[in-house]
Amino acid sequence: MSQMERPAKTRYAVPMGLESARAKLVSLYLELRGDASLDEMADDLDMRLIELCGVLNALEDREVVTRNGDRYRFAQ
């Protein structure tokens, strides 16, 4: 591929109103990845499970993420 040819860029947006950096990180992670379990997110994002659960609960309340069994998915 020459320098003139560049692959198309995909843009991802953080949902409006998210203040927490961790909430933004988790929502963007799920938007890019599709879905993930708690353990996968904790490992990939280097977050403690207790911290991650709090963020995910807040994101679920705002309908930014959904949960199906042990998997979480970006909802928007």
What is the pLDDT tens value at each position of the chain, 76 positions in all? 455 565 555 666 777 888 899 999 999 999 999 999 999 999 999 999 999 999 999 999 999 999 999 999 999 6
pTM above 0.85, yes or no: no
**CATH fold for the domain made of 21-74:** Arc Repressor Mutant, subunit A (1.10.10)
For the chain, what are the domain ranges? 21-74
Single-letter amino acid code for the residue at 11: R
How many CB atoms lie under 10 A from the CB of residue 65? 24
The residue to which tokens 């991650």 are assigned? 52
